[in-house]
Amino acid sequence: MKDYYYFLGVSPDASYEDIKKSYRKLSLKYHPDKNENDDFFADRFREIQEAYEILSDEVKRKSYDQNLESHQKTFRYHVPPSIKTFTANKIKVKKGEEIIITWQTQNADVVKVLPFGLEKAYGERTFKITEFKNGKFQLLLHVTNSLLHKTIVQGITITEVFENDGEKFRDRAEELFKSQPRTAINPKGQPKIFRLILGLFILALALYFLVSNFS
C-alpha cells in the first residue's frame, strides 16, 4: 500500500497546513517543466499530486488512514524482510536504451527502488538512462520492516556501452567541460577541465620551485 505521508515528507498526524506547505514545495522542485521532462521527476511529481489529492480531502484521508491501519495490522511484522528477486533485462546498455527491472520482496512495509522512490512489494519498471556517472548507473532496492527496524539492500550496476571509440571520446570530453554541482570544495560548480588545468599548473609550479632549490 502506498505511503502518501512519505511521498509528501510529513508525519501521519500532520495538519492540513503542513500538508499543503509540503505539497507546494515539492511540486516546485519536481515539476517536469523545470526538469526537462525527465521521467524520474515526472513520476515523482505524479506521486506528489496523488498523495495531496487524498490527504487534502478530509473524507478521503479518513478512509485512507483506516485502510492503512488495517494493512498494518495484517502485516507480518515479526518476520524479517527479504528480497526474492531483483533483476534487470540487461546490464550493459547505450545511453537512451530501454531497460526493464523487476523485483519481488517479502515481509516489508517500505520498499524503495532508488533513484525512483517508493514502490510496491513487487513490480516492474521500464526506463531509459540519460546520464551515467563514470560509465555506470547504480540501482538500489531497499526493503524495510519498520517494526523490526531491519533493512536489506541489493544493487544492480548498469554499465554504459559506446558505439565506437569516437563516441566514447566525445562523451568523456563533454563531461570534462560540463558544469559540476556546487559543493564546499567547488562552490562555483566549475567544470572538471578547469580544476584539472589548475591542478597541473600547481604541480608544474611545485616542480619548478623544487628544481630551483636544488640548482
Superfamily of domain 77-161: Immunoglobulins (2.60.40.10)
Q: Give the global pTM.
A: 0.51
**pLDDT digits 0-9 by tens, 139-184:** 999 998 877 788 999 999 999 987 665 555 565 666 666 676 677 6
Structural domain boundaries in the chain: 1-74, 77-161, 165-214
**Distance linking the first and last C-alpha atoms of the chain:** 75
Average pLDDT per 10 consecutive residues for the chain, totaling 215 residues: 82 92 90 73 86 93 85 68 94 92 90 87 90 91 85 95 64 66 71 76 79 71
Do the domains 1-74 and 77-161 sit in the same CATH topology, yes or no?
Answer: no
Q: What is the CATH code of the structural domain delimited by 1-74? A: 1.10.287.110
